[in-house]
Structure formats: structure tokens, C-alpha cells
Structure 1
Amino acid sequence: MTGVSSPAGADESAEVRRVWRDLGLPGLVDVHTHFMPDRVLRKVWAYFDALGDGVWPITYRGDQDARLDVLRGLGVRYFTALSYPHRPDMAPWLNSWAAAFADRNPDCLHSATFYPEHDAEDYVTEAIESGARVFKAHLQVGAYDPRDPLLAGVWGTLADSGVPVVVHCGSGPMPGEFTGPGPFSEVLRDHPRLTAVVAHAGAPEYTAFLDLVERYDRVHLDTTMAFTPFIERLSPFPPDELPRLRDLGSRVLLGTDFPNIPYDYREQIRVLVDLDLGPDWLRGVLHDNAAGLFGL
């Protein structure tokens, strides 16, 4: 893909690096970043562009190498290449691309995805056996019911393997027919050992998803876009839930949605620092929790 590179500026890189260095960390682990085939990414960007001028500008609209340079320049030690199908027969192609991408970039966790279709359990098993370390499920874009019988074997396989799955199941920023805590809570009821990472901290249903983290030992939240001014205007995090977020801090992971964010990467780091939940909480969120979950 061609285009103007969008590397992080020197000031941005210095600010982010200062945060993790002051905490005594070796860098960041970001569990919610997107790398995917160019034509797919162009369609994602076209969707955001269609929202109108200035509604959701893509801050890091560079080519693939430039985007990798941004993350590495910020000190992101490990990241993901999350992608998500919106129709049948798409997931195996995305998985093949992501596997090759991880081979070329060992700091990228080998990522994979799935869709409700008859061979889903087979290709999910194949992906795990080939080294996949994280999956992505996007209930709003995919517009599918996570309780679909075609996915029962997929959830069971993931639960048995312990491989985490990042699930966009909250209703933000736009609700879908199967978003919200209800449908995915039924998946967890049937597969209580599933290692799940609820994207965007479950926005806007923060409280209900915190309940699921308390109820299931292997459910986590990622911070993607949470607490930023952009999302607080739409779905503010309830202040009275901050103590519970602090207490459940070992299961909160850094996520950003890079590169598809309408602000600088450092803004996500700033807002987490500004929560003032303590250095131990922040060390866990920015690095240690994900390092432990993925055995890094």
C-alpha cells in the first residue's frame, strides 16, 4: 500500500517511552492492534472516511513499514495483527496472511480469526496447531450471533487450548444485533474456561462486563479507546466503577486500536496514567498482565 508515512513524532515517542521507563518496564505490550491485507485495511479506512470530514480521522495512515516503525519507536515490544471476517470463506485467507506476517515480524503475536461456518472448528484447530497465539471475534462487524451452533466447537476448542480471543462484544461505538453483554455471557456460561479479552473494556456496558470479569477467572478487559476524550463523549466510564477496575487490575490489558485511531497513540497512555490507580496497576496494564497471559 502506498501513502504518506505517519510515524510517531519524536515528542510522542519520547513521552510514551518516559512513561514505561519510569515504571521500570522494558516496554509495552499492546493486545489490540490491526495489521491485515492492504485491500482489507483500505476498506476499513474507507468506512471511517465515509463517516464525514473530521469525524474519525485515521492518525497513522502510513504504509505497513511506517506503521511498524511507529509501534517499535514507541517501545511496543509485542503487538497483534487482529483482523475479522464479515462473510463466509474469508477467515482462512486472513489467517494465512496473518501467519506469514507473524513469521516476518517476530514481535507480532501470531493472530487468527473465525466466522460461523461449517469448517470453522477445523481451521481454528489448524491455526492453533500452527502457532496462533490470539484470535479476534468482532460481533458488530461480523454481524453474527456468538451462540450460533456453528461456533460451539470453536469456543470449546479455544477454551481447551487456553489461547486468548479478543472479542468485540460491547455495543460501542455502534450497536449490532448481537452486541451487548447478553449474547456473549451465554457463550461464557457454556464455556466458562474460555480465555477471553473483552475489547474496549466492554463500552458502553462497562459495568456488565466488569461483572463477567468477576464471575469468570479467564475473562479480561482491554483498554482500547477507553477513557480517551473521544470515547468519553460517547460512552463515559462510570467513575464509581474505578475502584473495581483497580481491584481487577491483573486482568486489564493495554489495547489501542492502532492504527485506526482518531488521535495520537500517546493519548491512550496519558489517560491510563491520569486514572491514578497506582504504579502497580499501571505496570500490569501496560506490560506485565499481557506478558503473563501470553508467556512473553
Structure 2
Amino acid sequence: MSDTAAPRFEPIAFIGGGNMARSLIAGLIRQGVPANTIHVAEPVDALREQLALDFGVKGHVTAAEAAEDCATWVLAVKPQVMAEVCVPLAPLAKILQPLVVSIAAGISRDRLRQWLGEGAAVVRAMPNTPALLGAGVTGLYAGNDVDAEGRARAQALLSSAGQTVWVEDESLMDAVTAVSGSGPAYVFLLAEAMQAAAVAQGLPESAATTLVAQTLLGASRMLTESEESASELRRRVTSPNGTTQAAIEAFQAGDFEALVGRAIEAATRRGRALSAG
């Protein structure tokens, strides 16, 4: 008989069973977390039953049922219903003193602690939709109430859906949201524009779709797998007086870099406005 003890997994509760919760649950299962340690509160019968069927997790109708005896709570509900979900959990949070990971945009740590009480150690997280494929990235922020063990647990949880980046100033979470949380939509907008332009140049729509999608995929892999900077990778593709240079000059004539800067600034401002309530 082996003397090696089997790993112990603390129960975790997901409050909300939507797409992002589903992606995190799938990632945890892939990493070997036993399904019977994962509890999900989801009032929509079809969603709750599908999660139980697909992953073997324990489904619950109410948040209190799911959170009972769980060391970690993941708040995965829409920001507009967060208060009505959290306030009834405050007595339980006082008893259990859980690690609470919120993936809701625009809800500050102080507001969450106001609703849940001082017993909850709160980590704010901003994952993005590629987490559904295990290829996401998550920005994380924790206050002084979260110890090193709590930070490690939060990072392990979000790492199941991709890479993680910590920020040490909560106000920077609005910039995280603007860059990576909203960022996939910017890429999709670029893809739409490139596909439309390709069709305008005479390419069949199916060919345009494949060419654009694979080009963006390949470029993204070069960014993540190469040690070179984005500017250096761009330089290597841009031959003097070639086709790429002509396109880059057209982008820059339209103030492309400044436009991107204004877009991310606008998203950051909107995030701050949502945080201020």
C-alpha cells in the first residue's frame, strides 16, 4: 500500500451556472477536481440539470444551499442581481468566512463586502470569453483581507480557464475589463471588417472567412508563443515598399493607434461609471 495520501479537495460553490461558470467548472474537472466537490446554484432548471448531466456536479436551486459548507464561493451572476444574491448569504459568510471570487464587472470589493459582511475575503476577477475554450486570460485583484493561501486558491481556480494576471490597485480592474474583458469583441470587429473587405476584393465569402480566421489565429499564436514583441513581429512581416507597408500606412493615415487608445479609454471610463454605481 502506498503511503502517499490522496489529494484533498475543498468544496467550491458556484453561485450562477451561466457560460463563464460552465467554462470554469469544465477547467476544474479537466484538472482533476472531483465533480462531487463542486456545487452550483442555478434557478433555471434546464441549465442546472444540464450542468449536472455534463459534469456530474451537484446542482442546487438556491445560493444558500450551494454555499453551505463550501470554502470557496464563485459569484457568477449578472451585476444587476448581485446585491439580491449576496445579502441573504451574509449570515452564512459570517460563519464560514469563505474566499469569495467575483467575476462580475463593475462591482467593487467594498460593495461586495458591504453586502456579504466582513467575514468574506473577496477577490475580484475579470475573465474573458475565450475561457470557454480554456484559452482565456483573467485579471485578478485581492485586498489585504485575502492571505497568500487565498490568493493561491483564486489563481488556481481561474487558471483552469487560461492565464492569470494580478493587479495591485483595484482601480486598474476597469482597464483590465477594457483591454481583455471586452477585447475579444474588438478582434471580432476587426475580423468582420477584414472579411467584408476580402469579399469586396472579389474573394468568395467562405474563403474570406477561413483566411481571416486562420490569420488571426496564427498571429495570436505567434504573439503568445514567440519571445518577440508585437512591434518586432509586425516589423518582420512589413517589407519596405511592399503590400503590408501599404496597408499599415493606410491604417496609420486613419489614426489607427489613437482610435484604439480612445476605444479602450472609453471602455475604461464606462467601467469606472459602473463601479461607482
Interval of TM-score (by shorter of Structure 1 and Structure 2): 0.3 to 0.5
TM-score normalized with structure 1 length: 0.32
TM-score normalized with structure 2 length: 0.33
Bigger RCO of structures 1 and 2 (CA < 8 A, at least 6 apart): 1
